[in-house]
Structure 1
């Protein structure tokens, strides 16, 4: 099978570093079809769990470094430059950490080497966040080339091989360039929202290539994995995770999309309301996610699973959205946000709201008036500042 060859040749992609997940084996080496005979491997996830607790309650600094900007000003491509004061506002609001999405692919060279000015700019923002006491998640966001090649794998396996090698080279540069930060203060998230990929094996090839590259130059940093379907929690069970206790899995939650994403596509018209059954489903969804993840990736302590993060969740509001007055009221989206946070925290899931400012209606902070949307701030205040339990 050509896909298996990807793993074998991955050594070349990471400069002769093996792609066998650090010779630590897999926490799961099965497919969904053989679930009844699943061989569950228990791992000591205490290192990852400690990092996940430090992440705690956070927010995304979205529409900045993952924009179409280039070089050292890459965060300004969509008119939402990441300002020093933004990070200070987040810290003052009581958040524990930030997630900074980055579109590294934008100006990397043909081999995958990262633009040095972009790396320096991201490094500067990470340094400020850490100086404020906030750990940072750095990812590969909007990695269009690799995802497209993965979707097209059956028609062009060589194209996928080439993109996978380039991706590994990117992560070698990223991890090396940010490895000077304390191990306790930065997390490397392999790839944001893989989607529309036909085979779980293809997604696992991506995750393995990124993980192996990171571990080659940053052996003690926490690594975060995401699953197919735009990082659906329900797809996490399809991951082949390394037997590495310093990892976290992450999922995104926007259900029901008809409510949270109204006005963003023709399939999500304006005016959708939030029902009591929608809110009840939030609670049941997270129970199902937690039970599944614990069954597939148990901890040696018998109580926990691989640590879990909710890297994105959010609902569109009226300010800055296409739906304007037809979009959810601030009270409504605050209600949804509270239900999601409560459901996640019931299972020790750390979280990062999407997003801080200027994100087409999803923002929790009104940068025009330099203040938090009051209803959203009220929800966040009911959680931040309290001990985050796992």
Structure 2
């Protein structure tokens, strides 16, 4: 074979090879299937597997760091093991194991149950006996007109130290007979506690219990709180841990003492929490810390179990101010749905309601002398403020208690009639907006006092003002 022929044959063979190898052959499509769509783990964790069926190489991705997934890659059919450790939190964990083969991606959901709740020694199982299955808005409306016992159980030095006699069953009976259906009971606990452990004196706890029983005996609602109590609840970062610890310890004791009471007893966590002397708009530090006090209160009460698992609890806006409530309030998380209420107070306009002089003695549309009337805080103002609470809370299923409102009785003779106008309009406006009114009665019947009842006899001091409040 000569060289020329060899060259022609070689060229022919190469051409044939390249033409045959260059023809497009249809590639086999990639397939991928998984044996499981979901893997369910209990809180203790463990290992489970799922199978991969594929004709291609594959890889696995997952974003959860504490889950062990092996192997993370392979070719063709394979088996993957998912291993989880203990879930020590009281919420479930869900993540996804993603399997990719070429452009195909499939996933397996991995769900781990939450840890069993860890209960303190004093906890008892939730008990709904006597706790009516009534929506909180409906229960709030059943509270009717509310009346405050004032500072009787807050007086530094003892119950009678600030001029009021001890509260009696006869007094509460008279309040009930006058048309009130709820009594707010402000309490100071610290003077009767161990300052190192915050342990409440059993004798003082028993006395507060007596007063609560006066209310319950009349089939009325009792609203029990921790009031000003010498102002230890300062909402600052520096005091936050201290206050939350103290608040928790005290509310656990209170909640345990009253745990067996049915739903005519409500707890209110605090009162007018603010930085002492600062009545301005709170900075974020102040309202964020105050919001944490509300959460501590709810958690402490719920931790006791029993009927307290279902009790209606009342939390406060910053300084119980309406505008601060609309702008800065954060509703606490609660394990029990639909059992929280919000509290605010109303003393507008200050010049008429609280200022202890005779400069401003007229109020409202019936005022005849502009010089004796504040230039703000009239009927339209009240309606607008209460509408804010209705829109932001009541319309969203959260009841609002106006835990304090009222105005001092000034010495000027004309003031009484304007005070009656004020109480009637403010109370009715609260009702129209779905708010529950609690008149502030400090028991003092002298100049610039709020008293409606004689604390000794229970007799009505100002029947016309009582009628203005109760709508009689």
Between 1:277-286 and 1:349-358, the stretch displaced more is 277-286
Shift of 1:358: 2.1
SS of aligned partner of 2:135: helix
**Aligned length in residues:** 312
Task: Select 2:315's aligned residue among 217, 222, 225.
Answer: 225
Listed as ranges, the matches of 1:1-390 within 5 Å are 47-69=135-157, 74-80=158-164, 81-109=166-194, 110-148=196-234, 150=235, 153-154=236-237, 157=238, 159-182=239-262, 184-196=263-275, 198=283, 199-217=286-304, 218-228=308-318, 230-237=319-326, 238-241=328-331, 242-243=333-334, 244-263=337-356, 269-272=357-360, 273-276=362-365, 278-293=378-393, 298=396, 305-318=397-410, 325-326=411-412, 329-355=415-441, 357-358=443-444, 361-367=449-455, 370-382=459-471
Gaps of 5+ in 2: 1-117, 121-132, 276-281, 366-375
Shift of 1:275: 4.1
- In structure 2, C-alpha distance between the alignment counterparts of 1:93 and 1:286, rounded to whole Å: 25
Do the aligned partners of residues 146 and 160 (structure 1) sit closer, same or farther apart at CA in structure 2, a change above 3 Å counting? Answer: farther
Shift of 1:66: 1.6
Shift of 1:145: 4.7
- In structure 2, C-alpha distance between the alignment counterparts of 1:379 and 1:105, rounded to whole Å: 36
8 Å CA contact 2:322, 2:385 repeated in 1: no
Q: Deviations over 1:100-149 (max 9, x none)?
A: 1001122221222211111100101111210111110000001345323x
8 Å CA contact 2:343, 2:400 repeated in 1: yes
8 Å CA contact 1:146, 1:167 repeated in 2: no
Q: Deviations over 1:73-97 (max 9, x none)?
A: x422212121221101101112111
Q: Deviations over 1:3-22 (max 9, x none)?
A: xxxxxxxxxxxx976xxxxx
**Which structure has greater strand proportion?**
2
SS of aligned partner of 2:274: coil
Between 1:276-285 and 1:207-216, the stretch displaced more is 276-285
8 Å CA contact 2:151, 2:442 repeated in 1: no
**Which structure has greater helix proportion?**
1
- In structure 2, C-alpha distance between the alignment counterparts of 1:180 and 1:326, rounded to whole Å: 49
Shift of 1:249: 0.5
Would you identify which runs of 4 or more consecutive aligned residues in structure 1 move more than 6 Å? none
Paired position in structure 2 for 1:28? none
8 Å CA contact 1:314, 1:362 repeated in 2: yes
Do the aligned partners of residues 249 and 326 (structure 1) sit closer, same or farther apart at CA in structure 2, a change above 3 Å counting? Answer: same
* TM-score of the two chains, using structure 2 as the length reference: 0.62
- In structure 2, C-alpha distance between the alignment counterparts of 1:326 and 1:344, rounded to whole Å: 27
Shift of 1:174: 0.6
Higher relative contact order (CA 8 A, sep 6+): 1
- In structure 2, C-alpha distance between the alignment counterparts of 1:46 and 1:130, rounded to whole Å: 18
- In structure 1, C-alpha distance between the alignment counterparts of 2:215 and 2:467, rounded to whole Å: 23
8 Å CA contact 2:409, 2:416 repeated in 1: yes
- In structure 1, C-alpha distance between the alignment counterparts of 2:193 and 2:413, rounded to whole Å: 38
8 Å CA contact 1:270, 1:327 repeated in 2: no
SS of aligned partner of 2:271: coil
Do the aligned partners of residues 211 and 111 (structure 1) sit closer, same or farther apart at CA in structure 2, a change above 3 Å counting? Answer: same
Coordinate RMSD, CA, aligned: 2.5
Shift of 1:46: 5.6
Shift of 1:189: 0.1
8 Å CA contact 1:97, 1:134 repeated in 2: yes
